[in-house]
Amino acid sequence: MNLIPEEQALVEAARAARVHAYAPYSRYMVGAAVRTTEGQIFTGCNIENASYGLSICAERVAVFCAVAAGARAIEAVAIVTEDGATPCGACRQVLMEFAPDPARCCVILATLDEVVARYTLATLLPQAFGFTGAAPESSV
């Protein structure tokens, strides 16, 4: 799958972050990188805990690092795992919170040596929850 240079750089940042994963329990290492609408890249890795429920995914670490640095708008995400997995539901919802245009927010999935899939965030999380102050309209 061909990527433009900005996407390739995002995948490489995610690969580099994966090396720092702390996953002594699952041994499933994940790296993620998000690019803001201002072109900044923030990375994350999964961080597990002996109290399993306290573990956190790489994607959320990357988003939270971006937010902690003052960013609020994410336009692309790259996730690197050994098998090219998709982000979990919790991470999709967290990404949605900071993606001003989910239909254009690119989610790139890669393994250690190749890109395996590419989605938009809107495709991965249709009908996402969002506070609107009103009940959502039904589609039926």
Among 19, 17, 25, which residue's Cα sits nearest to residue 43? 17
DSSP per residue, 81-109 = -SS-PPPPHHHHHHHHHT-S-TTT-EEEE
75 is catalytic: no
Minimum distance from CB of 138 to Zn ion (Å)? 28
Min. distance of Cβ 37 from Zn ion in angstroms? 22
Least Cβ distance, residue 58 to Zn ion (angstroms): 8
Q: Which is nearer to Zn ion, 57 or 71 (CB)?
A: 57
Site residues for Zn ion per CB under 5 A: 57, 88, 91
**Catalytic annotation, pick one of 6, 7, 48, 59:** 59
Count Cα neighbours of 96 within 13 Å in the Cβ-side half-sphere. Answer: 18
